[in-house]
Amino acid sequence: MRLRNLISLSLIAALLLSACSTSKEARTYRNLINGHWQLQTVVSEGIKGQVKTELLNEADLSCFVGSSWVFNQNNSLGSYTINKNAGECAGITRNIRWSIYEAANEPKLFQFKKLDSKYKEVDEGSVGYRFTILELDKTTMQLRNDVSFEGKSVSFIYNFVRL
> Residue 117 and residue 13: Cα distance in Å, rounded?
37
Residue-level pLDDT, tens digit, the chain, 163 residues: 554 554 544 444 444 444 445 788 889 999 999 999 999 999 999 888 777 788 898 999 899 999 999 999 999 999 999 999 877 899 999 999 999 999 888 899 999 999 999 999 998 878 899 999 999 999 999 999 998 878 889 999 999 999 9
Contacts of 67 (CB under 8 A, 6+ apart): 38, 39, 80, 81, 82, 83
Q: Tell me which fold the domain 23-162 belongs to.
A: Lipocalin (2.40.128)
Counting beta carbons within 10 angstroms of the beta carbon of residue 50, is it exposed (0 to 12), middle (13 to 18) or buried (19 or more)?
exposed
Q: What is the pLDDT of residue 66?
A: 96
Q: What is the pLDDT of residue 6?
A: 46
